């Protein structure tokens, strides 16, 4: 069954339409996914095609050279990346070494918690991760029970882009397997959240216990066809 924007005010026909009126130069964009799994690939392409500039992108990783956020790096639309892992992107490395790109590295668990905290209205939290390393430079510390902890700030993005398996017409989301990594936290951290999904079903289809992101966090939905690329392909020689 197909749906159009007349059936629910959250549903948009294309990724470009879903971004319409939300994109501005210099904004912060949080992007879900883990490697190439669960990334909002068509929303990223629409963001690239919008021509927006000077983005700060928050994502676990920066995609690869020709897919995911790597597409925005190719066009130099990203001014700053806040990530935990960027080892699969040669253009990212080139821009970083040439000082063309600002980088804030963040431990993976800390990044997930910063996104979750931002979505929960928590401005900051203390963690032991990063104490005594370059991660701690310029950050406040405090001792609890004889141990030193590092203050990390919650992240609230201007828009969040997520990829879900299914949505209902109200915007309740279900993710599938590894695609659940980072997408739920990214979804809650955005002032406005757009979900790219494979299927929209009527409201009431989901058992409430199945819902990973409640509709209250989701502002817009668009159905796309995923290419589901493989980040690293290993082929046996035997």
pLDDT in tens, 174-230: 999 999 999 999 999 999 999 999 999 999 999 999 999 999 999 999 999 887 766
Structural domain includes residue 143: yes
Structural domain includes residue 131: yes
Structural domain includes residue 229: no
Structural domain includes residue 6: no
3-state secondary structure of 149: strand
Structural domain includes residue 103: yes
Instruction: pLDDT band for 6, please (50, 70, 90 cuts).
Output: very low
Residues 88-117: tens digit of each pLDDT = 788 888 998 999 999 999 999 999 999 999
Buried b (16+ CB within 10 A) or exposed e, 106-143: bbbebbbbbbbbbbeeeeebbbebbeeeebbeeeeeee
Q: Domain containing 216: what range? A: 11-223
| Contact assessment for residue 195 and residue 172, using Cβ atoms and an 8 Å cutoff | no
Domain total of the chain: 1
CATH code of the domain containing 191: 3.40.1080.10
Q: Distance between alpha carbon 107 and the CA centroid of its chain, in Å?
A: 15
Structural domain includes residue 238: no
Pairing status of strand 220-223 against strand 11-12: parallel
Length of the chain: 238
Structural domain includes residue 233: no
Structural domain includes residue 230: no
């Amino acid at each position: 069954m197909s749906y159009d924007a007349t059936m629910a005010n959250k549903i948009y026909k294309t990724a470009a339409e879903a971004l319409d009126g939300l994109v501005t130069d210099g904004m912060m964009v949080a992007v879900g996914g883990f490697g190439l799994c669960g990334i909002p690939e068509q929303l990223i392409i629409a963001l690239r095609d919008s021509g927006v500039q000077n983005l700060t992108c928050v994502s676990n990783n920066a995609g690869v050279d020709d897919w995911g956020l790597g597409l925005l790096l190719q066009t130099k639309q990203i001014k700053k990346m806040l990530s935990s892992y960027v080892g699969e992107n040669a253009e990212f490395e080139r821009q970083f070494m040439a000082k063309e790109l600002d980088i804030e590295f963040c431990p993976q668990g800390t990044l997930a918690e910063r996104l979750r905290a931002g979505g929960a209205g928590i401005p900051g939290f203390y963690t032991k991760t990063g104490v005594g390393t370059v991660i701690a430079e310029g950050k406040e510390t405090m001792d609890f029970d004889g141990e030193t902890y590092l203050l990390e700030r919650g992240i609230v993005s201007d828009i969040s882009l997520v990829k879900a398996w299914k949505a209902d017409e109200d915007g309740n989301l279900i993710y599938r397997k590894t695609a659940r990594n980072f997408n739920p936290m990214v979804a809650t951290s955005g002032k406005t959240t757009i979900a790219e999904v494979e299927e929209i079903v009527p409201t009431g289809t989901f058992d409430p216990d199945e819902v990973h992101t409640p509709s209250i966090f989701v502002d817009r939905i668009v159905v796309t066809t995923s290419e589901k690329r493989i980040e690293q392909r290993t082929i046996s020689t035997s």
